[in-house]
Amino acid sequence: MTPIDSQTGAARSSEEEHFRLIVEATTPNAMVLVEGGERGRITLVNAQAERLFGYTRQELLGQSIERLVPPRFRPMGAGRNLLGLRKDGTEVPIKICLTPVETPKGLFTLASILDINERKQVEQIVSEAGDYAEGIVQTVREPLVVLDLELRVVSANRAFYQTFQVTPEATQGQRVYDLGNGQWDIPKLRTLLEDVLPTHTSFQDFEVEHEFPSLGHRVMLLNARRIYRRIDEAPLSLLAIEDITTRRRAEAEIAAKSKELETLLYVTTHDLSEPLRSIENFSHMVLDEHGGRLDEEGQDLLRRVVKGGARMRLLLNDILTFSRVRRITPPTEEVRGEVLVREALDGLEATIQETKAKVQVAKDLPRLRADRTWTTQAVYNLVSNALKFTRPGEPPEVEIAAYRPAPGDTDGEGFVVRDRGPGVAPEHAERIFELFQRAVGHEVQGTGAGLAIVRSVAERHGGKTWVRPRTGGGSEFIVTFGKKRK
């Protein structure tokens, strides 16, 4: 057991260090890694984030990412332009791009944060002052180009000409689609400029991401918005262009490393199964056929070997299950909730009878678009968990009901599994969903992987899981699958 733990820890440490180096050294943007969803805890920040927000990384680690935005902008949305909240209470215009990152420890969110204060200043001048403030526009490092209603270039700044290697004479009055030998003829950009922007008179942003082969396959984010030179004149379109090549490459490398680690986890546990099977078989043979030749101490030691092998088997099976969950494809099958619960309870029938548990199932369970096998596994794990945690001298009491989000909540539908056990301390409410993390000792049977599997199944379906206290004592475990249907 010890060699496996030390190797796994070393691999994780090496992986985290590689991840930290990527975030620290390969991007000019502020980067924050958040455990779980976009309201989770900050687990990693780079130096740019420290400079932007005025915190040290020690002050940010373990905090919610929402500490970095004013309350009126919570919850955040991916790709939104909003204001960041510095440590001194001042606000700064930022843009946040949220990217999910899957790891063996669960789903993380990588937040790439761009200081767009310069862009906001220019846009305000262009939109409200009644002229282009050409001198200020030219000082902005970000490429900018202004288009008229016919999508012809009205003006651009030096950064635009330098980035795309064109001259003012070659672009002035040209349609944007004709720039760069047609490389600007991007279907999504055409739709954006011709169909979307003309219907909007606000200053709302719209974005298109595109790779330019002529620029060494650099990836650009084209941010378009409707602007007005003067109230009595026709509107214009402002394109602000951000080079996100470094960010995308870093994200791709992080995803690749996460995939490599996932594959290593699967292969390692699979390869360990065969020698473990031999250890188990021979241990049983020695105990059954030759145990009588050993004294009481020798028999006790041999029984410990058999018990340790059985526990190792459980651990490997859970690791294999956890790695398989990461391969779930987007579900297409619609499944009735009562079918999932019935199949889960069938698998726990012997345990329910042995513990004399009282299990109540509500009748209004939801219909889900989900992977039937894995969703059943998630319910099975939650009920199995509830059967283990009871009050002394009392049989387990378990209730299974539907979870339906409150009005305005974006969570999807799912299940609530209630127990009358000792409950979960607030400081353990997140940790118990991590792989091999337990809120109790080994007096309760299990490997500490069951709830991690539940969370992984939920996240692969676009949902989430959490625990909260139950009125009257005990816990309520909630698991959802997907977002709320419109």
More confident position, 24 or 438: 24
- The pair of structure tokens assigned to 138 is 């030219």
Tell me the pLDDT band of 346, cut-offs 50, 70 and 90: very high
Q: What is the pLDDT of residue 27?
A: 65
Closest CA to 357 of 382, 386, 400, 392: 386
Q: What is the pLDDT of residue 419?
A: 94
More confident position, 192 or 398: 398
Tell me the pLDDT band of 18, cut-offs 50, 70 and 90: low
Query: For 88, which DSSP code?
Result: T
Percent of the chain with pLDDT strictly greater than 90? 20
- The pair of structure tokens assigned to 305 is 């070997």
**From the DSSP assignment, how many helices (H) and strands (E) are in the chain?**
14, 17
459-486 residues labelled b (16+ CB within 10 A) or e (exposed): bbbebbbbbeebeeebbbbbbbbbeeee
Domain boundaries 118-243, corresponding CATH code: 3.30.450.20
Decide whether 18-115 matches 118-243 in CATH topology: yes
Mean pLDDT, range 138-165, rounded to an integer: 86
More confident position, 29 or 229: 29
Q: pLDDT digits over 217-260, tens only?
A: 899 998 888 776 655 567 788 888 999 998 888 888 877 776 76
State how far the Cα of 322 lies from the Cα of 230, in Å rounded to an integer.
Answer: 59
Give CA angle at 338 (336, 340), nearest 5°.
75
Separation in Å, CA 303 to CA 275, 281, 294, 310, 442: 18, 13, 12, 11, 18
Fold classification of 18-115 (topology level): Beta-Lactamase (3.30.450)
pTM: predicted TM-score of the whole model, two decimal places: 0.47
| Domain boundary assignment for the chain | 18-115, 118-243, 257-327, 330-486
Average pLDDT value for the chain? 79
Is the pLDDT at 129 greater than 50, yes or no? no
Tell me the pLDDT band of 467, cut-offs 50, 70 and 90: very high
ω into residue 75 within 30 of 0, thus cis? yes
Q: What is the pLDDT of residue 398?
A: 95
More confident position, 381 or 95: 381
Q: What is the pLDDT of residue 98?
A: 81
CATH 3.40.228.10 for domain 330-486: no
Cα atoms in the Cβ-side hemisphere of radius 13 Å centred on 424: 22
Comparing 34-43, 50-59, 349-358, 431-440, the range with the smallest average pLDDT is: 431-440
Is the pLDDT at 131 greater than 60, yes or no? no
Separation in Å, CA 387 to CA 337, 348, 430: 20, 9, 20
Q: What is the 3-state secondary structure (H, E, C) of 325-374?
A: HCCCCCCCCEEEHHHHHHHHHHHCHHHHHHHCCEEEECCCCCEEECCHHH
More confident position, 139 or 359: 359
State how far the Cα of 473 lies from the Cα of 384, in Å rounded to an integer.
Answer: 18
Q: pLDDT digits over 76-113, tens only?
A: 655 556 789 999 999 888 888 888 877 767 788 888 88
Percent of the chain with pLDDT strictly greater than 70? 76
Q: What is the pLDDT of residue 26?
A: 55
